Structure 1
Amino acid sequence: MHVPPSLQTDDLSTAINLVGAYYAARFDDFPKRGDSPPFFRGAFFDNCSTDPEDADFFTPADLLSLPMLSIGLGQYRTVPEVLYYRHPQYSELLKGIGPDRDLADEPGPLPAHWPARRLEKALCEIRGVSKVTATKLIARKRPRLFPIFDRVVKSRLAPDTVFLDTVHAELSTNETLRTRINEVRNGAELPNSISALRILDVVSWMEGQHPEWRTYTAPTADRNFMTQ
């Protein structure tokens, strides 16, 4: 895996600044906010108040989170397929995955029949649901376990290899990287509900798309992270 440059050093200020800029909208007094930093709606994707009772089935909130990451709802059948017609199938697969846990602790290599892979494949059977959409839905339910597949992030972390397997192999063997990711989350004053996978995703995406915010310093006073 190509470790993001800002996570290759013990000086994590650049990574903290990029993550702080990405999530700044969730700290703002929204009616009074200005244009610095720009509004990253992806900051609102993360489910920071997960209801354990919803862990094993997709909800309308999961589908409505997709536009936060610039993903539409696909064809006209997507919503009824996910919430109704295929609901029992997807619920059984989510139960088969088991509770959320850190991908780094998952025994490897990940088998082809790993339940999360099977759920991704099953979601992609719906016309209009791509790998990008499927992984974002799974990440809503298992944010610590399943990484979001994004074309920008893929091109930066694992351009020539299988994305999931590459990220898993790196995190499971690179303790220094895991420690730095946790330090970035703490440095940006984010709650533990923002997973290590999501921090890695945001750092990679911001480096690729918005490196101009590498010197941004988020305010630190009276910051209460919004919940959904």
Structure 2
Amino acid sequence: MRLPQALREADDAGAISALTRYYGGSTPVESFTGARFDTWDSTGSRPADTNRFTADDLVAVTFLSVEVPARAAIILLDTRAETFNSLLTALGPDRDLVEERNPWPATWVGWTLWKELTALPGVGPTTASKLLARKRPRLRPIYDSVVADVVGSNRLWEPLRSRLVSEPSLHERLVRLRQEAGLDEAVSALRVFDVIAWMEGKFGPP
């Protein structure tokens, strides 16, 4: 996979410009709706719900221009909620993707959870990635067709893991960019990558 143009440049100006435009800088009213995805917590229970999909998660993904169909929502939040709770628990706590040093085997619980999400009626890889990124924002990158075009890959999770592990300075740079753009710490390094790639795909390189 290739990096977005802004991350291939030595200068951080283009990446910071993309981030501040997306998140609104000092004027949040002008930000993209996706700027609320990272921190949305209408009930104040998000820290306690790391191993449970909630209605807030379903609302948050709408900020990224996708919706979980009604039948899928019922399965996710009610009829098979315990299955998804168990898988999230088995996946373990959130951690930075760069810490996953080795490729995951086919039996890894993360792949099982991924298959279960994409098997929900009307839920494809884009929506599944956004749902999983709500629960493990430091571990799961967001995927959509715009980002796929920019990075030149229809797969993202494993290719990005491999790139971060082989190039740890990339993770460090993403964290630094978040800080320099003045973003909330809830915005993960992976989300910084996503926003930079998405902005390039929508509006062109900086």
TM-score normalised to the size of structure 2?
0.91
Match of 2:27 in 1: 28
Q: Which runs of 5+ in 2 are unaligned?
A: none
CA-CA distance at 1:192 after TM superposition: 2.0
The list of structure 1 runs, each at least 4 consecutive aligned residues, that deviate by more than 2 angstroms after superposition, is: 27-30, 47-52
Tell whether the 8 Å contact from 1:47 to 1:140 is kept in structure 2 after alignment.
Answer: no
Aligned equivalents of 2:166, 2:101: Cα separation in 1: 11
CA-CA distance at 1:211 after TM superposition: 3.3
Higher gyration radius (CA): 1
Deviations 1:44-94 (A, max 9, x none): 1113667331010001000111110100222x3122111001100000000
**Secondary structure, aligned partner of 1:78:** helix
Sequence identity of aligned pairs in percent?
A: 36
Tell whether the 8 Å contact from 2:40 to 2:60 is kept in structure 1 after alignment.
Answer: no
Deviations 1:170-204 (A, max 9, x none): 01111222222122111110122210000000000
- RMSD in angstroms over aligned alpha carbons? 1.9
Tell whether the 8 Å contact from 1:45 to 1:65 is kept in structure 2 after alignment.
Answer: yes
Tell whether the 8 Å contact from 2:33 to 2:64 is kept in structure 1 after alignment.
Answer: yes
Aligned equivalents of 2:67, 2:40: Cα separation in 1: 22
- Residues 87-166 of structure 1 correspond to what in structure 2 (within 5 A)? 87-159=81-153, 162-166=155-159
Match of 2:6 in 1: 6
Aligned equivalents of 1:7, 1:196: Cα separation in 2: 13
Tell whether the 8 Å contact from 2:150 to 2:201 is kept in structure 1 after alignment.
Answer: yes
TM-score normalised to the size of structure 1?
0.83
Is 1:66 the counterpart of 2:61? The answer is yes
Tell whether the 8 Å contact from 1:63 to 1:137 is kept in structure 2 after alignment.
Answer: yes
Q: 1:43 aligns with which of 35, 50, 57?
A: 35
Tell whether the 8 Å contact from 2:126 to 2:143 is kept in structure 1 after alignment.
Answer: yes
Match of 1:171 in 2: 164
**Size of the alignment, in residue pairs?**
203
Greater helix share, structure number: 2
Match of 1:223 in 2: none
Paired amino acid for 2:37 = F
Q: Which runs of 5+ in 1 are unaligned?
A: 31-36, 215-228
Is 1:207 the counterpart of 2:206? The answer is no
